[in-house]
A = this chain, B = another copy of it.
Amino acid sequence: LEKQGEMLCSSHQLAGLLHLNPAQVRKDLAYFGEFGKRGVGYAIPKLREQIIKILGLKQIRPVGLIGAGGRLGQALALYRGFEKRNFRVVALFDKDPFILRQSPMGLGKIHPVEELPRIAKELGIEMVILTVPAEAAFDVYEIIQLSTVKAILNFAPVQLPSTDEIVVHNVDLTMKLESLSYYLNCSSLPESLSEDDFSED
């Protein structure tokens, strides 16, 4: 909206864009403070500013990327979209000695994961993206726990637990597909989950 030169918006308008109920929008925002003016609406630049503050993104957040040698890791390391929203991938890590010797072109130096604690401390990294294979995930998780990192965006298809120290968001892409598959299956199912053999022992 700001890019479109709008200066004001109502909860109704936001609700439309977000596919939500206007009351929901108001309540959620009100939880953090009083950002609107009664009878008027929300001043867009101020609202944006407030949301940035709430999200802790007033200054650029340095992010580490572990598993930079894999294809997903490379894709995310080179993704331009993070910068626009105040994130910057400032350090790449991997375990594979081959990758460490010669980093894929376009990427800068890749460090061994063992150096994560030192480098994270130096660069103020509190957040990492994890794109390692399932087998490596728990080992890397251990190393992360020894570092200044307090948040993980995990793409490895294993459920890493959040603790008091570390928040984890697990993004299992296959599970997303499964979820969609379920919806497809439902709409094409008239009434039959027990249609074929289901004999007790």
A residues apposed to B, CB below 8 Å: 17-19, 32-33, 50, 53-57, 61, 63, 70-72, 74-76, 78-79, 81-82, 84-85, 87, 126-127, 129, 150-153, 157, 159, 161, 167, 169, 171, 173-174, 176-189, 193-194, 198
Are B185 and A56 in touch, CB under 8 angstroms? yes
CB–CB A71/B81 < 8 A? no
- Closest CB in chain B relative to A178 CB, distance in Å: 5
- Identify A177's interface contact among B82, B173, B178, B194, CB under 8 A: B82
If the complex has contacts A87-B174, A159-B18, are A153 and B181 also in contact, measured as CB distance less than 8 A? Answer: no
Query: Which chain B residues border A54 with CB–CB below 8 Å?
Result: 182, 185, 193
CA distance A93 to B195 in the complex (A): 36
Once the chains are docked, how many angstroms separate the CA of A70 from the CA of B119? Answer: 30
* B82 adjacent to A71 (CB under 8 Å): no
**Contact partners of A169 in chain B: CB under 8 A:** 176, 179-180
In the bound complex, how far is the Cα of B55 from the Cα of A198, in angstroms? 17
What is the minimal beta-carbon distance from A154 to any residue of chain B, in angstroms? 10
- In the complex, are the beta carbons of B127 and A153 less than 8 A apart? no
The contact of A85 among B74, B150, B174, B198, by CB within 8 Å, is: B174
Known: A72-B75, A127-B184, A185-B56. A87 touches B153 (CB 8 A): no
Establish whether residues B173 and A76, one from each chain, have CB atoms under 8 Å apart when the complex forms.
yes
A78 to B55, CA, bound (A): 34
